[in-house]
Structure 1
Amino acid sequence: MGTDLRAAALGADLDRSLQGVLVAVGLSLLVLVVSFLPVAAGAVVEPGLVIVGFGLASWWAYDNSGLVVSVALVSGPVVARLTYFWWLSLGRPTPVTLPLSFAGQGAWAMWLPVALSLGVVAFAAGVVVRRGRRLVPLAARSGA
């Protein structure tokens, strides 16, 4: 049993994978819009959108989309938030980034590997669940 690298990277159904990329773009735009809300709203909503991106990445991987789609769904909200803080601090000195903070020097260096790792973990979780459901016979799942 071989693995098709193109299907693993981009997904078996390219239309469904394109839908996943469009959802990632929409999620990124939503994060950018929420970034302009008052600080209290953004501080609550934006980490939630990163978690939603992780859940969507796992779902799209379960639905046989590729690794690229999962990474895009997780990294989209993170990159949007980092871009907002980069734009906000243009021409001004910024402090060093605190752990898990999106603002400050070093935020890109900390968050990009985290976002890529979360995308890979979400993809792996979706694939494991999809393959696990194939291994368990339908009669055993229904309890009959």
Structure 2
Amino acid sequence: MFSPMEQVPATDNVPGLSAKQVQAVYALAAGTSKKATAKALGVEPHTLTRWGQLPAFRAFLGQVTNSIEADSLYALKAQRLKALDTLSDLMDEQNPSQVRLSAARAALELPAPAVTPAEDPIALFEDVMKHFKAQEESNGIGPKY
């Protein structure tokens, strides 16, 4: 079973936090309950509550949580591109019309990706263009320079 305690980087030295507090941050950010985190660290749950009031603890917890969320969003975007590539392949002429129709319907039913104001539109455009260029190169199409 996954144990966030085993995932804690041994070299994380966060100013103002003890090693146990850093471990607690990683465990809590990974979704481990306060009770389980306290037990694994050998402290009482109310100790975690008290640590949670420390500005350094809260700030580091926010950083780790944001990092986990960003990694998750990136992974989801990558999987979405793979799914779209698969649907695109299924819509090729060599496939039966029923397969192409089903793939087209699936593509149209996909929700549009949420674009948050925090995303850089230029970077997003460049990522999309890199993706299309890679697709062209792998399929032997596109301009030959």
TM over 0.5: no
Structure 2 length normalisation: TM-score? Answer: 0.31
Structure 1 length normalisation: TM-score? Answer: 0.31
RCO higher in 1 or 2 (8 Å CA, sep ≥ 6)? 1
Structure 1 or 2, whichever has the larger Rg, is: 2
Which has a greater percent of helix?
Answer: 1
